[in-house]
Amino acid sequence: MSRVQSIERAFAVLGALTDGPIGVTELAERVELPKSTAARMLASLAREGAVEQLPGETRYQLGPRIESLATGLVTARSVVAIARPHLAELAASIGEAAGLSVPDGDTVHYIDQVDSDHPVGVRDWTGARLALHAVSSGLAVLAHRSPARIDAYLAKPLEPFTERTMTDPDQVRARLRRIQLDGYAWTNSEYADGIASVAAAIADPSGEIVAAVHVHGPAYRFPPAGREAALGLQVVSTATRITRRLRQTEA
């Protein structure tokens, strides 16, 4: 079976399960596959968490991974819609690009950016997935995770992206404690040379960190001397307004 054919059949199986739990025989009939092939597809999808067998039954239903992916998509779209006017206001006020990212495992996924009117700016990072320890938004997210999750992240080798990337676990822990106190995270040339960034985390109504807002610009002009704390608090204020709006929307 070719990879393309396998993908097509996997989606057919998932589509058949959207109406509710069914058994292997009925599934095979719906998707027009031999029963043995349908059973193998279900077993493969179950290993990935995309489907699961009902306890004590022979029927299958969509699994937790599908729910997680769908929830993540809805959350991301909701946060982008709510955050965009705040990003535009932040970019206009500070004069640098403002962006939005969401946690994605050991990375943050950049999902939106509003550029400034400055003729010299930074590239649009929308679509990029960057390591938590190397960017301000990632550090803002990591700082709000449980001690056990922080330990698990720092137990892995931390990739150095530039000579300024902080890769010592003890130093990163100390940095995270400072971020927890300040409410914002600064980085300078730690993922890409010549780019400085500040970020703050955004929480959903349950208090879970679902996104981060950041401002970044060329390090030769950003941040202006002596303005690190003031700009950090401005980003925190924006993140707080987005958090409040999320709570109002989901209330």
Secondary structure, 3-state, 54-87: CCCCCCEEECHHHHHHHHHHHHHHHHHHHHHHHH
Residue corresponding to tokens 């990591």: 142
Instruction: Give the integer Cα–Cα distance in Å for 75 and 242.
Output: 13
Radius of gyration of the chain (CA): 22
**Residue that terminates a domain, selected from 18, 43, 62:** 62
Same domain? For 119 and 239 the reply is yes
Residue 75 contacts by C-beta under 8 Å, 6 or more apart in sequence?
102, 204, 210
- Our count of domains for the chain comes to 2
- Please give the DSSP secondary-structure letter assigned to residue 223: S
Each residue's pLDDT tens digit in the chain (251 positions)?
566 677 788 888 888 887 788 888 988 888 888 888 888 888 888 888 888 888 888 888 888 776 666 555 546 667 888 899 999 999 999 999 999 999 988 999 999 999 987 777 687 888 899 999 999 999 999 999 999 999 999 999 999 999 999 999 999 999 999 999 999 999 999 999 999 999 999 998 888 898 999 999 999 999 999 999 999 999 999 999 999 988 776 55
Residue corresponding to tokens 């950016």: 113
The whole model's pTM is what? 0.72
Domain extent at residue 18: 3-62
Same domain? For 55 and 73 the reply is no
**Residue that terminates a domain, selected from 62, 87, 105:** 62
Same domain? For 108 and 23 the reply is no
Instruction: Report yes or no: 222 and 195 within 8 Å, Cβ to Cβ.
Output: no
Same domain? For 83 and 54 the reply is no
Same domain? For 37 and 23 the reply is yes
**Residue that terminates a domain, selected from 17, 45, 62:** 62
Instruction: Give the integer Cα–Cα distance in Å for 81 and 87.
Output: 11
Same domain? For 72 and 27 the reply is no
